[in-house]
Amino acid sequence: MDSHDNITTDVDIVTLRTMYSVLQVQNIKLQRELADLKDQVTALKLELTGRSEVVRSGIGAAAVGLSKEDRASDGAASDATLTKGASTCTAAPSGQCSPCPAISESSSTLPSLCSRQPHQGSGDHEGPLQLQPPRATPRHGLSRAQAERYSRHLLLPDFGVAAQERLCGGSVLVVGCGGLGSPVAMYLAAAGVGRLGLVDHDIVDVTNLHRQVMHATSRVGLNKAVSGRITCAAINPTIQVEAHTRGFTPATALELVELYDVVIDATDNPPTRYLISDACVVSGKPLVSAAAVGTDGQLTVYNYGNDGPCYRCLFPEAPAPENCSRCGEAGVLGVVPGIMGCLQALEAIKILSGVGDVSSKKLTIFDALAGRFTTVRLRNRNPACVACGSSPVINRATLPSYDYVLFTGQPPDDGPPADLELIDPRFRLKPQQVARLLAAQMKMDVDATAGQHREPDAVIGEAGPGPVRSFGAQEHETQQQQGRVRQGDLQQGRDGGVGQQRTLFLDVRPTAQYNIMALPGVVHMPYERLEERLSQLLAMLGVAIPRIDSAAASPTAVAASMAATVMESPNSGAIAAGAIATVAASCEAVASAAEPLAGGFAIGSGSTGDANGETDAWGSQPRVVVLCRRGNNSQRVVARLAGLGVKGVTDMQGGYTAWAKQVDPDMPLL
């Protein structure tokens, strides 16, 4: 019996040793598989790292080993013994896993195979080997920040990723950072155009702020291109914004245009418009052009495609200066350039992205008061065009020396028009002289009307005594009730003294300007209505009314006769039109009227100075003093009246603008 028991025990020991050997072989096999899995994980990490992604993965497996009973019956068990069954992981926080202590203790034989998947139930490590699912990879070249910023573009079925990528890789040059350029630059920056160039040599003025929304009150006096760069960089710091503060000139035009894909014309003067168009034609760049004056706007795209016209195709001859309206002269409703600028930004986006129909060969006209858009078809490219035709005169070699100021007869900026010199300065009054003359006449009116009441005669204009300063429309209405200019007051003396001739102060500004402020005692007669009311004015002055040919004798025609118009052959490479020159004939026309007046007053004697001893060309007070905004239209009116035989007529040099600077600093500068 003892012998049999010993044999049985020996068999059990052999069986256990055999099983242990089998487990050791399995352990070695598992170690090799683990090493292979580690290599695969390393390769996967390297692959995902190349895409700038960090992959965190782990491997887990169930521990395989002997049962506690078998382990207890095997005296040869060592630290290499494996544990069979569940081993509760308590070292890791919920949702994460670190190598379990039970497995770590036997890591000399079997490294940890703990999965980094969240634990289920009691946290037991069970089930097959698992890898964390790979992350979604982008199918475009945009960064995560770009994809989030432009996500609303990416969601558009007609736009999408490809169009946004083209925007981010594109560039736009915005010439002019004013009412049009502000919304263009801001929306292109927000849309993600990769590189923006802003061109402007002007500085921010307080009169700009109602429409040029890219600037702020704190930046008054700062260069507009620099101010625009600050705004655009704040809107989108991921793009590149460049400020070109030297302006856009024939010498720099080609250099600037060739650096960008699309050009925006956001200027307000003909010389620069022609220059931008010519530079785009020479460089082969599309041009998005718009204009906004008053309550109207227009938009088109030039030099686009194979047959798209350029600016010269539509306007081969420069418009006359008097036919060109600017915001500084005609005014502008602030929102109108904002609307047109947004449309320009839209056209630039369509060109860069390749999405949508570009507004080439059609002109969009906007009427703000009617809320109406109208589209007009334009002609194709003109084969005879001097810029884009079959035999262009303007090319890379000739453009830098082309005289755009001579061609248009206008300055190449968006500022006020150049001062005319139709009248010799000797025959013009300075604002201080007008102030003294007006004050003396107002005192004479007050003295003459003290305690008297007169029924008004035929009223030509409104006037009234008061301090020599400008005032608004409401205050002016009160002044009007105090006195009126009557027909005959200018033909005879008043009770202010023997020979005291009244002077007519004729304000020829538009009604809109007159309603803002006016000098007391003036007669308002808008320049554009001068011919219509000329006979009435002459009758008031006691001048015989001649037969007037309204077509030949209009103020425009008279002024044009005083201007030199130079027109060279287009084949010479230089075209000049509307160039204004100082003409001595205008001075002679005024001097010819310098005869003694009925009251003993003469023009041109040059012998009598004013009250402060200032010597001028007037023998005494003039009969008519014409006032306008800047002193240009007033010269035209003086020439017109002098040509009709009116004696003693002059104007205020510099107009109301000079008055505000030299006499009344409280008057707003328009």
204 and 325 belong to one structural domain: yes
140 within domain boundaries: no
Short-list 251, 234, 259, 236, CA closest to 174: 259
What's the whole-number mean pLDDT along residues 636-654?
89
User: Contact at 8 Å (CB) between 225 and 178?
Assistant: no
With H, G, I as helix, E, B as strand and everything else as coil, classify residue 523: strand
**Chain segment 142-182, per-residue pLDDT in tens:** 888 899 999 999 999 999 999 999 999 999 999 999 999 99
With H, G, I as helix, E, B as strand and everything else as coil, classify residue 255: helix
Helices and strands (DSSP H and E) totals, the chain? 22, 14
Which one is predicted more confidently, 517 or 62?
517
Query: Does 465 score more than 50 pLDDT?
Result: no
433 and 397 belong to one structural domain: no
CATH number of 526's domain: 3.40.250.10
Report the distance separating Cα 339 and Cα 368, nearest Å.
9
Query: Does 561 score more than 50 pLDDT?
Result: no
The confidence score (pLDDT) of residue 136 equals 66
Strand 240-244 vs strand 484-486: parallel, antiparallel, or unpaired?
Answer: unpaired
For the annotated catalytic residues, the residue numbers are 327, 628
The confidence score (pLDDT) of residue 424 equals 82
**Chain segment 592-613, per-residue pLDDT in tens:** 333 332 222 233 333 223 333 3
Q: Kindly report which listed range (454-463, 614-623, 649-658) carries the lowest average pLDDT score.
A: 454-463
247 and 393 belong to one structural domain: yes
Domain carrying residue 479: 429-546+584-662
Q: Which two tokens stand for residue 131?
A: 């890898």
257 and 371 belong to one structural domain: yes
Question: For residue 288, with 0-12 CB atoms within 10 Å meaning exposed, 13-18 middle and 19 or more buried, which class applies?
Answer: buried
User: Contact at 8 Å (CB) between 204 and 228?
Assistant: no
CB atoms closer than 10 angstroms to residue 617: 20
Q: Which uninterrupted H or E stretch holds 460?
A: strand 459-462
376 within domain boundaries: yes
Report the distance separating Cα 345 and Cα 170, nearest Å.
13
Residues 6+ apart with CB under 8 A from 450: none
Q: Percent of the chain beyond pLDDT 70? A: 64
Q: Percent of the chain beyond pLDDT 90? A: 42
Which one is predicted more confidently, 582 or 252?
252
The confidence score (pLDDT) of residue 310 equals 97
Q: Give the DSSP letter of residue 41.
A: H
455 and 518 belong to one structural domain: yes
Q: In the 3-class helix/strand/coil scheme, how is 180-243 assigned residue by residue?
A: CHHHHHHHHHHHCCCEEEEECCCECCHHHCCCCCCCCHHHCCCEHHHHHHHHHHHHCCCCEEEE
Q: Match 């755009």 to its residue by tokens.
A: 404
Query: Does 49 score more than 70 pLDDT?
Result: no
63 within domain boundaries: yes
337 and 486 belong to one structural domain: no
Report the distance separating Cα 626 and Cα 587, nearest Å.
16
Q: Give the DSSP letter of residue 254.
A: H
Q: Which residues does the annotation place in the binding site for ATP?
A: 179, 200, 207-211, 224, 268-269
Query: Which range has highest mean pLDDT (104-113, 161-170, 514-523)?
Result: 161-170
pLDDT band with cut points at 50, 70 and 90 for residue 69: very low
144 within domain boundaries: no
Query: Which range has highest mean pLDDT (383-392, 426-435, 481-490)?
Result: 383-392
Q: Kindly report which listed range (25-34, 297-306, 359-368) carries the lowest average pLDDT score.
A: 25-34
Provide the residue type at 103 as one letter.
Answer: I
The confidence score (pLDDT) of residue 396 equals 95
The confidence score (pLDDT) of residue 568 equals 28
493 within domain boundaries: yes
CA angle 380, 383, 384 (to 5 degrees): 125
Domain end: 104, 125, 153, which one? 104
CATH number of 356's domain: 3.40.50.720
576 within domain boundaries: no
362 and 440 belong to one structural domain: no
CA atoms within 13 A on the CB side of 346: 13
Domain end: 81, 104, 127, which one? 104
216 and 283 belong to one structural domain: yes
- Dihedral through CA 573, CA 579, CA 581, CA 586, nearest 10? 140
β partners of residue 541? none
Report, in this order, helix, strand and coil percent for the chain, each rounded to 5: 35, 10, 50
pLDDT band with cut points at 50, 70 and 90 for residue 27: confident
Average pLDDT, the chain: 74
391 and 480 belong to one structural domain: no
248 within domain boundaries: yes
pLDDT band with cut points at 50, 70 and 90 for residue 438: confident
Q: What are phi and psi of 320, to 5 degrees?
A: -65, 145
Q: Which residues does the annotation place in the binding site for Zn(2+)?
A: 310, 313, 385, 388
pLDDT band with cut points at 50, 70 and 90 for residue 389: very high
**Chain segment 74-102, per-residue pLDDT in tens:** 444 444 343 334 344 444 444 444 444 43
What's the whole-number mean pLDDT along residues 304-311?
94
Provide the residue type at 382 as one letter.
Answer: N
Report the distance separating Cα 336 and Cα 182, nearest Å.
12
Report the distance separating Cα 357 and Cα 13, nearest Å.
90
568 within domain boundaries: no
Q: How many structural domains comprise the chain?
A: 3
Which one is predicted more confidently, 506 or 66?
506
Which one is predicted more confidently, 621 or 639?
639
289 and 227 belong to one structural domain: yes
Residues 6+ apart with CB under 8 A from 2: none
Short-list 185, 118, 570, 561, CA closest to 345: 185
Query: Which range has highest mean pLDDT (9-23, 251-265, 545-559)?
Result: 251-265
Domain end: 75, 104, 133, which one? 104
Distance between terminal CA atoms of the chain? Answer: 130
Q: Which residues does the annotation place in the binding site?
A: 179, 200, 207-211, 224, 268-269, 310, 313, 385, 388
Q: Kindly report which listed range (58-62, 215-219, 370-374, 580-584) carries the lowest average pLDDT score.
A: 580-584
Strand 459-462 vs strand 484-486: parallel, antiparallel, or unpaired?
Answer: antiparallel
Report the distance separating Cα 258 and Cα 610, nearest Å.
60
Q: Which uninterrupted H or E stretch holds 166?
A: helix 160-168
The confidence score (pLDDT) of residue 50 equals 54
CB atoms closer than 10 angstroms to residue 496: 17
327 and 226 belong to one structural domain: yes
Q: What are phi and psi of 255, to 5 degrees?
A: -60, -40
191 and 290 belong to one structural domain: yes
Report the distance separating Cα 613 and Cα 432, nearest Å.
13
b/e sequence 250-269, b meaning 16+ C-beta within 10 Å: beebbebbeebbbbbbbbbb
Q: DSSP of 297-354, one letter per residue?
A: EEEEEES-TTT---HHHH-SSPPPGGG---HHHH-B-THHHHHHHHHHHHHHHHHHHT
Report the distance separating Cα 412 and Cα 577, nearest Å.
15
**Residue 247: left (phi > 0), alpha (psi -120 to 50), or beta?**
left
User: Contact at 8 Å (CB) between 250 and 399?
Assistant: yes
pLDDT band with cut points at 50, 70 and 90 for residue 26: confident
